[in-house]
Chains A and B, each alone.
Chain A
Amino acid sequence: MRPEYEYARLQHLTRRHFLSKCSTGLGAMWLAMQGRSWGSAGALVKDPASPLAPAPPLIAPRAKRIIYLHMAGAPSQHELFDYKPELAKLNGKECPQEFLEGKQFAFIQGVPKMLGPQFSFSQHGRSGAWVSDRLPEFSKVVDDVCFIKSMHTDQFNHGPAQLLVHTGSQNLGAPSIGAWATYGLGSENQNLPGFIVLTSGGRNPDGGKSLWGSGYLPSVYQGVQCRSEGEPVLYLDNPPGVSRDLRRRSLDALDKLNASIAEEVGDPETVTRVSQYEMAYRMQSSATDAFDISKEPEWVHQLYGTQPGKEAFANNCLLARRLAERGTRFIQLFHWGWDSHGAAASEALNKGFTDRCNEVDRAMSGLLIDLKQRGLLEDTLVVWGGEFGRTPMQENRGGEEMAFVGRDHNPGGFTIWLAGGGVKPGFSFGETDPIGYEAVKDKVSVHDLHATMLHLLGFDHEKLVFPSQGANQRLTNITKPGTKVVKGILA
């Protein structure tokens, strides 16, 4: 039997398998979509033989892909976007008791002092967005950006809060947004992973690889951590001594041998394996090409501030654009070092914080400019933010004055921004109280943000579900009801 024919047979078989026996996994997903309380408004049918094949969303999408820039450690809203003159007035005063009652802090003890904004703010663009002087490049692109200043979460430690912001659950074991997105939509490019994760040097984020895990979804939807140094995908390169031609030759032999095994045994998985090996072969060239930024013209490097060969956030921003162009569904970037407690220079508002701003300012602004000029911003949603906010009080770790200026973790209020794919440009949504402590107006929970991201991708967050632990689980945690799409930011 010819391999092509065999492949067609397999597709037939697995679909039949899928439709006749779908009691768990992908099949159950389909069933769940058909199921009782959700009604039958559109079914997500996945073919287990090619689980990452592009699939249409359930409602009209505004974005085809997401680039998520996570600032691990939680950047201070007080020093970037959430300008509060009231807080400046309170600088150095003892924190009033009303701000402390019923609060649990990671490090603050007893009665801390209030801390005014550490940098000067001004308004920018036609939209008049407030941005501090730490982000001069970003100040020029604010008219493309939609701020949410009323974010809040319920976790105040990094690991759990990052898990919450990426998986909807503070505990390990739930799938990440990128896994949900590739599960729902597949990938537009079968020769690249559909969900790619890039970390900028240094370290992995506090939440570890679970932040891009597949949780209870099939493992094929987990994010693939790529590297901007060396081989971009683990084991992508042929071993030394095996040229691309020789790999092709060995795959030709393997394909033929496997085709005869398929004919002899009749196991459809064998035919799937042949196609997976061919996909791996194509991935070797397409991923290598996608990750080679050295061919970008000089003006592009100027725009992002990139230096080929360096493992930096800027390089990852440029890679994000290249991957977006190539149809990668979800591109997750991690930058780190934003945990500005003030316990050391590297994590002080008056030192490390400025370094972090310098590392991201040109790069993220360049990304927005570049996406826009290529027409990609229209259907690419860019999301920027940390896992929680920071206190308007100065941290006093151990109840003592600290060597540097810093702020403690604050789940009550923080700022994120979005751009592109279906959100209002040059817009600011929601407010915190006069000292930037608690979100008070148009509050947006992490789950609301998730629902909105899924909405922009074309999914009702209550309908993109997967059965696990006896319930139809979803990104917007079923144990935290009341989640809503943030309609106010939709363009």
Chain B
Amino acid sequence: MEFNRDIRPIFTKHCTSCHGGVKEAGGVSLVYRDKLLKPAESDKIPVIPGDPAGSELMKRVRHSDPDEIMPPPKHGPALSSDEIAKLEAWIASGAEWQEHWAFVTPAPQAAPDVSSKDWPKQELDRFVLARLEREKLAPSPEADGAEWLRRVSFDLTGLPPAETELADLKNAADPEAARAAIVDRLLATPAFGERWAAMWLDLARYSDTTGFEKDPHRDIWPYRDWVVRAFNADMPYDRFTIEQLAGDLLPNPTAEQRLASAFHRNTQTNTEGGTDDEEYRVAAVTDRINTTWTAWQATTFGCVQCHAHPYDPFPHDDYFRFMAFFDGTEDCDQDDDFPKMRWANDAAKRDEATRLELRIRELRAALNAPGAALIQQESWSALGIDGFAPTHGKLVASADGTVRAEGTLPVGCTHVVSAPAADFRALRLGVLPESDNPKDWPERGSLVTEWKVALAAADGTRTDIPFSAVYAEKMSGPREPNPGGNLGEYPKLNGPVSFVLVAKEAVTAPPDARIEVSMKQGASTTGNQATSLRRFRIDRSNDPVWTELASSPDRAALAKELREARGGLNAIPGTHVPVMMERFPAAIRETRVFARGNRLSKEHVVKPGLPELLTGGDGQFADRLAMARWLVDGKNPLTARVMANRLWSELFGIGIVETNEDFGTSGTLPSDQALLDFLALRFQNEHRWSVKSLLREIVLSATYRQTHRAPEVLVARDPQNRLLARGPRNRLSAEMVRDQMLAVSGLLAPRPEGGPPVFPPQPDGVWRSVYSGAKWNTSEGPDRYRRALHTYVKRTSGFPGFLTFDGPTRDICTARRIVSNTPLQALVTMNDPAHIEGARAFAKRIAAHPGDLRSKLSFGVMLATQRVAAPAMLDELAALHADALATYQKDPALAEQLAATPEDAALVLTANTLLNLDSTLTR
């Protein structure tokens, strides 16, 4: 009796949709063992270990009364006698519980014994073979060189093999060594990183636009190139993980490490007028949570946003504890994607730019710190405002000294207030939320963009009072406070915040004068929504400490360094890339649980943490960096399995767990858990997270080397090839379809160093985003012929050829492309002008090949499929060519539209046909 194998499937099939994590009908949940052993609402105990007769569960599944039996007849059929017997045996034997397989750390797997000792070439083969022997199946013969070479070239580099590789393989004295050498060459080519980046960018939901309505451009392509470099450098997966999730939090991060954190800035930004920046900030944070869980843990954590997980034991709070890891960053759905890093054009200056950017932040904090510490400590007296002259709305004073603004407060409105004169050295502006209840925060932003103070003498003369320094209780967001303004919080007010403005010189006021404060609120969020000052107070202090602080030599030195650092940074030209950046510690947001997932209905505060289910302990983790380290600490039950499965699925077309995106109870079970665990531990331990090493081992295995040619009986027995009694045969991915066309035709213009996205030909009128002047200006020169990876990705209007071949829109993290086979795909490869341009170039290569037509065609077949064309195939192609030639000779005007001469045109049509062969479109 094994819970996961025998019992849990019964619960999942019959029970958990009502007695699960979301719905606990009658107070019964079959997701947590302790809940099963406690009395339910009826006071009856569902399961009493060792006592099936006393267990309510057994009574109910056996009941004859339709009102009592479980499941109720209208919900589903009764349990089979076999299922009931299993439950009984399970309870009788003590109702032992197991966590779902994927949440239990994998155990080391010894490779099983097999009878055919000669077949395995790698340890993994013994797992596969043992299974086949159990199933009384024999492996398929080894694929010939051409078949294996085509497969391994596309799988590792996304491109067809070079012409010379096949000859090398055929002529090799030691075929084993030759295969290994080919694999090593493929792993070392820059094309390797480009192919695997294509996979990773689906998970990263990489796009060159921000998404939503206007879907404007975003410069984040340096991150795409980072991924390519990381794969090419075989960056270990643990580092790959940490740098993307928390590269910005590493000590003294390099420019590359900060750039890696752009992984989570591929979230969408909503620039539509009138949208709430907090709503879409939270949407981005939510997306980061769900993406992290899907990409690294293959867990449908998104369920937990609204309620406890329906099938897996994650309580509701777990979601928000995890949210706290991501809630502290500066980004807040700004149109300009603030905050960004400067990615220097000159590679040699990148680290310097990063050092300066981080130093500038440190200096800002250092300049602010001495004053910030005193803001609430010093003694202040109320300014005593008794004069109100707002340009709009109405100002009303309260007994507690605060002032409230009422009415319509448009962008640019100015609150002018005045008070009887008093001496002061500093004024303190308190920017206050309308509500005092933290659960209502954040509110709409509140920002004084221009701060002016004057002394109005009795005779009407006015003297402006200059201020030399500002100290903020907390600094946040894109607007830096200065003595002349930017006081408050933008775009959202996360609670009260005070600013001290230090007068240049101590103000001594004549007794009959008045102090006039003018506060303009010129800022707005997208859609001209004013971020007005809705509630505030002003205090004064005459303590000399303020003047001393503001005029101290330390401050002057820091200010000088800040100026220099800014100057130095501005002298480094570069691309501005959105990256992760934590808010200053004083401004960290408080994360609260959202009732039923609704951000507008907040509950208690939670601290950052991970699910206890997976961590064992209390799950307390300090920050995003600690969380990222936990993912790859070697004890996490999911990380290595999920990645090993992903790599496997890229090679075999289907994962050992078919649902790459879901290893939980609602996903599919592994077809061979021992094999998966073996690969996972090998990846994590022996290969020390090296992706290249694991891939090398797999593509050189006997399993992978089998031919994909299969007798009918085998295909019928195992249509999805889960047993691996034959080699994989997969359709080319969207990227490979384009890249192969470019490679075969000789048009491909490699760009291993990467660069901004390019615009290969696309039909007119595909891009038509509303309120957007963005145009598809077709690239000329080499940029017209880059690999698919470099094609501009626009979320709301994807590249048509890629979408048709199952490329995702990159709206959200996609862990698996479901391969389709449709007539629209045929139209792309037959008619897309880019593919016709490819066919023309391909025809030229064919024409240039020496020999008669048959040898030319044979060469074409070899380029497109790596196969030696059978005579019948050449007959067919030659006949097509002859018929086309006859037509074009009769109608030279028709030919001219395709190529220079009827001969050329006939060959272009033949080349176009070759590029549409099933063998050309598969690997």
Contact = CB atoms under 8 A, between A and B. Distances in A.
Contacts of A171: 283, 812
A253 B913 contact: yes
A209 to B, nearest CB: 6
A111 B407 contact: yes
A233 B804 CA distance: 12
Contacts of A467: 666
Contacts of B273: 106-107
Interface in A178-227: 193, 199, 202-210, 213, 218-220, 222, 224, 227
A432 interface: no
B230 to A, nearest CB: 26
B708 interface: yes
Contacts of A354: none
B769 A208 contact: yes
Contacts of B873: 257, 260
A208 B800 CA distance: 14
Contact of B274 (A107, A222, A261): A107
A37 B17 contact: yes
Contact of A204 (B411, B796, B798): B796
Given A239-B836, A245-B887, A399 B824 contact: no
A176 to B, nearest CB: 12
Interface string B278-306: 00000100000000000000001011001
Interface string B809-848: 1011000001011111111101111001000000000000
Nearest to A49: B821
Contact of B826 (A208, A266, A270, A280): A280
A61 interface: no
Nearest to A193: B824
B825 A276 contact: yes
Contacts of A25: 818
Interface in B260-285: 268, 270, 272-276, 283
A310 interface: no
Interface stretch (A9-17, A375-383, A417-425): A9-17
Contacts of B824: 193, 224, 233-235, 280
B884 A400 contact: no
Given A107-B528, A207-B213, A253-B913, A240 B898 contact: yes
Contacts of A16: 716, 719
Contacts of A277: 823, 826, 830, 916
Interface stretch (B71-79, B109-117, B324-332, B538-546): B71-79
A257 B876 contact: yes
Contact of A203 (B409, B530, B769, B905): B769
B894 interface: yes
A23 interface: yes
Contact of B831 (A106, A205, A222, A238): A238
A209 B803 CA distance: 11
B851 interface: no
Contacts of B870: 260
Contacts, number: 313
Contacts of B212: 159-160, 206, 208
Interface stretch (B35-43, B657-665, B736-744, B785-793): B657-665
A24 B274 contact: no
A400 B548 CA distance: 44
Interface in A455-491: 467, 469-471, 479
B614 interface: no
Contact of B306 (A268, A398, A479): A479
Contact of B768 (A199, A245, A260, A274): A199
Contacts of B409: 109-110, 399
Given A17-B719, A109-B408, A210 B309 contact: no
A243 B909 CA distance: 11
Contact of B919 (A156, A235, A238, A261): A261
Contact of B74 (A9, A39, A247, A409): A39
Nearest to A227: B765
Nearest to A51: B820
B823 A36 contact: no
B399 interface: no
Interface string A224-262: 100101100111111111110111011011101110111
Nearest to A10: B715
A253 B877 contact: yes
B585 interface: no
Interface in B11-36: 13-18
Interface string B716-729: 10011010000001
Contacts of B811: 172-173, 210
A105 B272 contact: no
B554 interface: no
Given A204-B797, A235-B828, A242 B898 contact: yes
B827 A235 contact: yes
B22 to A, nearest CB: 9
Interface in B44-82: 71, 74-77
B213 A206 contact: yes
A336 B71 contact: no
Contacts of B283: 171
A283 interface: yes
B716 A13 contact: yes
B921 A273 contact: yes
Nearest to A336: B770
Contacts of B211: 172
Nearest to B869: A257
A257 B917 contact: yes
B74 A471 contact: no
The 3 closest A-B pairs by CB, nearest first: A110-B408, A208-B796, A399-B410
Interface of B: 13-18, 71, 74-77, 211-213, 215, 268, 270, 272-276, 283, 300, 302-303, 306, 309-312, 392-393, 407-413, 524, 527-530, 597, 658-659, 662, 664, 666-668, 708-712, 715-716, 719-720, 722, 729, 731, 763-766, 768-770, 795-798, 800, 803, 806, 809, 811-812, 818, 820-828, 830-833, 836, 870, 872-873, 876-877, 879-880, 883-884, 887, 894-899, 905, 908-910, 912-913, 916-919, 921-922
Given A110-B410, A222-B803, 11 more contacts: A109-B409, A157-B213, A203-B770, A224-B824, A234-B828, A243-B887, A256-B876, A280-B830, A283-B823, A400-B410, A470-B664
28 contacts: A17-B720, A37-B17, A37-B76, A106-B275, A109-B408, A156-B274, A158-B213, A159-B212, A159-B270, A204-B768, A206-B213, A207-B796, A208-B212, A234-B828, A235-B763, A235-B827, A241-B895, A253-B877, A257-B877, A260-B873, A261-B918, A267-B729, A279-B823, A280-B830, A398-B530, A470-B300, A470-B309, A470-B666
